[in-house]
Amino acid sequence: TSKRLTKPHYRVQQARALNENSVRRNEARQTGEREREIEEKTERKKREEEREKVRENNTIKKGKARNETNGNKYIERERQQKTESDKKKNKNKR
pLDDT on residue 70: 72
**pLDDT, tens only, 14-30:** 888 888 888 888 887 78
**pLDDT, tens only, 45-85:** 999 999 999 988 888 777 777 777 777 777 788 888 888 88
d(CA 8, CA 19): 17
Helix (H) or strand (E) holding 73: helix 33-93
Give, to the nearest 10 degrees, the angle between helix 33-93 and helix 8-31.
Answer: 90
d(CA 61, CA 53): 12
Which is more confidently placed, 37 or 8? 37
Burial class (CB in 10 A: 0-12, 13-18, 19+), 34: middle
d(CA 27, CA 19): 12
Region of 7 (left: φ > 0; alpha: ψ -120 to 50; beta: rest) is beta
- What average pLDDT does range 2-15 have in this prediction? 70
pTM over 0.75: no
Which is more confidently placed, 8 or 78? 78
pLDDT at 90 over 90: no
pLDDT on residue 13: 79
